[in-house]
Amino acid sequence: MKDNTLLLHLFYTLLLFLGASSSSVENGSNNDPNNQNEVYIVYMGAADSSNSSLRNDHAHLLNLVLRRNEKALVRNYKHGFSGFAARLSKEEATSIAQKPGVVSVFPDPILKLYTTRSWEFLKYQSHVKIDNKPNTVSNSSSTSDVVVGILDTGIWPESASFSDEGMGPIPSRWKGTCMKAQDFNSSNCNRKLVGARYYSDPNEEDESTPRDSFGHGTHVASTAVGAAVENASFYGLGEGTAEGGSPDSRLAVYKVCSSFGCRGSAILAAFDDAISDGVDILSLSLGASPGFAPDLTTDPIAIGAFHAVERGIVVVCAAGNAGPSPNTVVNDAPWILTVAASTIDREFQSSVVLGSTKTLMGKGINFSPLSNSPRYPLIYAESAKADTADLADARQCHSDSLDANRIKGKIVVCNGNKDEAYTTADKVEIVKGAGGIGLVHITDDEGTIASNYVDFPTSLISSKDGAIVIQYINSTSNPVATVLPTVTVLEYKPAPMVPYFSSRGPSMLSSNILKPDIAAPGVNILAAWIGNSAEGAPKGRKPSPYKLESGTSMATPHVSGLASTVKTQNPTWSASAIKSAIMTTAIQNDNLKAPITTDSESVATPYDYGAGEITTSEPLQPGLVYETSTIDYLNFLCYVGLNITSVKVISRTVPDNFSCPKDSSSDLISNINYPSIAVNFTGKGIVNVSRTVTNVGEEDETIYSSIVNAPSGIKVTLTPDKLQFTKSTKKLSYQVIFSSTLISLKEDLFGSITWSNSKYTVRSPFVLTK
């Protein structure tokens, strides 16, 4: 079937999380068939047991709803924050929004779901060698009491990746539970999988179970914290030891997604429970699409994440899969660690062998049954044009454009086109349906993902190699070829690259915060899968317990696993300190020692990868950290337009003397103590921002020198330009003065500020926006 967009194809073939749709009364997408009332979320800010006024407001509104109809209540939020989800008429929702203590009332949105080599690759991607640094992968007998919570499609508990062999007792502070279901019981949890919850969809006949029926949640969970499993592969591809980033950490699963999508009310309930359960890291490989991104007071992820971070929980979220267009990054609130995707140094290659003995390296996953000898007839698609078809359509193998009699039993060469709606998978079905035995697709526009074409011999080759194939066909009366089954190629260069699908900055929420924050492996990642799915399996083969998947969904658990390791080594660090450690130790060069590029070969910028690609050792000892305080986040809420009344309702830690600055403006966002810097520079000529760093290095007395990498035409002055820490001085502030003679910028400009001593390098990217 013809897909209308590449993104739609990616969603169905790779389970990438794409897009979201907000419910509305008018379209009836979320309506109760009995009373036509819609599910609304009533968000009431902090759940502070010491504040009797807030407690009473919550109880009063809840009682009003229950008196009207007990079945109207869908969920009640009371641990991490206050509020509820209920079936309300539009008039009731509007009325409740005016009540004391209510921050926002909004329709329950539907969000979508956006290893063996990746961790090994990351281990060798480093710019600073630290002596005696702790290992990121511990021995099998050690145990971390850090709990990583995954909000996703559930879990396949029988996977070897979730074995608790060698793990110690569950920490006594853990308050979570293992919910029972027809196909899930308490014995499915163990010392590794310490909690499993599900949230039934109020409007759908879905599975009320923590068990994963999609695979997505199982895949991301094993990437983050999976135990070491030897000889894992996808039918021999990517073979090696599969292991999560923090294999000694605990796992708690919150199933918020069903076949219908991921409801905002369920996501908020999971945040609420996770805060009460005692998780340390929360990982979300889901979100809204850029076009439907809600504001901060109606975004379930931003709301839940704020209250989690306020309690010291690190919240890691995917940036989205709507790239390479700008302004597509989502989950971009400053308290969230937002993750872009990158490639690793492993390729899956399917070669095309021509009768001239020429071998061309293509890509794609197939388990070709063809002989290795080039003895199969080869035809260029335009030569098989149907009588009524357009030549360009035939050349590109579009529907109804090929004469089946001419291609039966042959390998077909099809052209790609950047603007066409047909994917390689579409053309496989067209060629196969017409009797072809293989496909060679000439395309430069499907990026770095190796899609699985199962038993149908398929290879994607570049336009340069495509010219060689066509020249060969035209040079002989009997062109022949074969398509070889896929092989794994390691130490591929260059890597990492930023793939085309990864969402890009700048942030639509605010150009004064640089997003995404960081990049991590998210292309062709091998991790655990559900055990009852034969999707993508070669004919006659059993389901594979491990599968290759791509997306920022896969990048996110790499960062969650790393955050868990940092938390294990530094248990007293705040969520923002852990975030800073990961960002300021990132790298910006690939394995050719050249600047990281996109897969279209342009040099990547912080809008593509944030601070850069994660490293696995340096974040454990970053030297300095930027601690973003709750006050910073409260000021941010003021700067984006919320009034002091709303801010005090939202946060449980607002000081009595806190007030929004009189001259609150979006430009002041640049001054919150973030590990990166973004400044709206147009029309200003000079801008001054401040930052404060905390010394967490081993030496109390040390001096850091500064290095500034500034774009042409911009002067950057640091005051002071050296930072001298002592036993009594752990925190130091500095000013950054950006100046230029330019009246306005023609484009956004990028640079960096680095503090270093003999042991540590602490780098912050900056962007000046036009």
Q: Any idea which residues carry the catalytic annotation? A: 152, 216, 553
Phi, psi of 235, deg, nearest 5: 50, 45
Q: In what order do the strands lie in the sheet with 715-719?
A: 624-625, 686-695, 731-739, 715-719
- CA distances from residue 643 to 295, 549, 764 in whole angstroms, order as listed: 15, 44, 31
Two tokens, residue 303: 């709301």
Contact residues for 477 (Cβ-Cβ < 8 A; gap 6+): none
Q: At what angle do helices 6-14 and 424-433 cross, to 10 degrees?
A: 80
Cis before 210 (ω within 30): no
Q: Report how many helices (DSSP H) and strands (DSSP E) the chain contains, helices first.
A: 16, 38
Percentages of the chain per state (helix, strand, coil), in multiples of 5: 25, 30, 50
Contact residues for 107 (Cβ-Cβ < 8 A; gap 6+): 22, 23, 24, 25, 30, 38, 39, 40, 41
Q: What secondary structure does DSSP assign to 450-477, as a single string?
A: --B-TTS-EEEE-HHHHHHHHHHHHH-S
Distance CA(252)–CA(271), nearest Å, equals 12
* Nearest alpha carbon to residue 574 among 620, 624, 627, 622: 627
Q: What secondary structure does DSSP assign to 687-727, as a single string?
A: EEEEEEEEE-SS-SSEEEEEEEE--TT-EEEEESSEEEE-S
For residue 538, count other CB atoms closer than 10 A to its CB. Answer: 17
Q: Report the SS3 class of residue 96.
A: helix
Two tokens, residue 37: 């009332």
Sign of CA dihedral 281, 286, 291, 293: negative
Query: Helices in 172-299 by DSSP H: which ranges?
Result: 216-225, 264-277
Q: What secondary structure does DSSP assign to 390-444, as a single string?
A: -HHHHHTT-TT-B-HHHHTTSEEEEE--TT-S--HHHHHHHHHHTT-SEEEEE-S
Two tokens, residue 38: 């819609």
Site of tokens 């407001």: 57
Two tokens, residue 499: 């793939």
Site of tokens 């040079």: 475
Task: Determine whether 233 is exposed, middle or buried from the number of CB atoms within 10 Å of its CB (0-12, 13-18, 19+).
Answer: middle
Q: Give the count of alpha carbons within 13 A of 745, CB side only.
A: 22
Phi, psi of 225, deg, nearest 5: -135, 15
Amino acid code (one letter) for 483: V
Distance CA(548)–CA(558), nearest Å, equals 15
Cα 724 to chain centroid, rounded: 37
* Nearest alpha carbon to residue 523 among 336, 290, 345, 366: 345
Amino acid code (one letter) for 504: R
Amino acid code (one letter) for 615: T
CB 767 within 8 A of CB 724: no
Q: What secondary structure does DSSP assign to 41-58, as a single string?
A: EEEEEE--TT-HHHHHHH
Task: Determine whether 620 is exposed, middle or buried from the number of CB atoms within 10 Å of its CB (0-12, 13-18, 19+).
Answer: buried
Cis before 655 (ω within 30): no
> Which H or E run includes 350?
strand 346-354
Strand partners, 439: 412, 458
Output DSSP code: residue 170: P
